[in-house]
Amino acid sequence: MDSDRPVVRLARSYRFSAAHFYWDPRLDAEENEKLFGKCANRHGHGHDYRLEVVLQGVPNPETGMLFDLRELDRTVASALLERLDHRNLNHEVEFFASRQPTCENLALYAWQALAGRLPAGRLEAVRVHESADLVAEYRGPRG
């Protein structure tokens, strides 16, 4: 990047609703409840998640913009929101067939879904807010 021009970070927020539960099939019901508490209820529960996508780079000198937000919105919608919104993460999202659908794993999933669809080095971080007091951030490999 041109060292004469400042690097800017830009965050865009999105919302989706999804259900999940935590369960380890290697454990019995009592052990799952002890490990995961009320989140081990196999009927699940839901959250209204907030996803933040953080981009970084040097803004275009002609437009003053880092990235076309309409393009970002389309990318996030097709890569993530259409796959997550109003879904049961345990049963409808293949990524969670072998992982707990935690906030941390949702952040990893979001990164992996977006990284190949955005220009190399532009994706800085993803944050998944499960509630007002719980957020996971993932900053994956760049390139």
Beta-carbon contacts of 37 under 8 Å, excluding residues fewer than 6 positions away, are none
Q: Give the residue from 13, 10, 99, 77 showing the smallest Cα distance to 48.
A: 13
Where in the sequence numbering do the catalytic residues fall? 39, 86, 130
CA distance linking residue 136 with residue 130, whole number of Å: 8
Residue of 13, 9, 35, 12 lying closest to 22 (CA atoms): 35
Q: Sheet of 123-131: strands edge to edge?
A: 87-88, 8-20, 45-57, 123-131, 134-138
The sign of the CA dihedral 128, 74, 85, 20 is negative
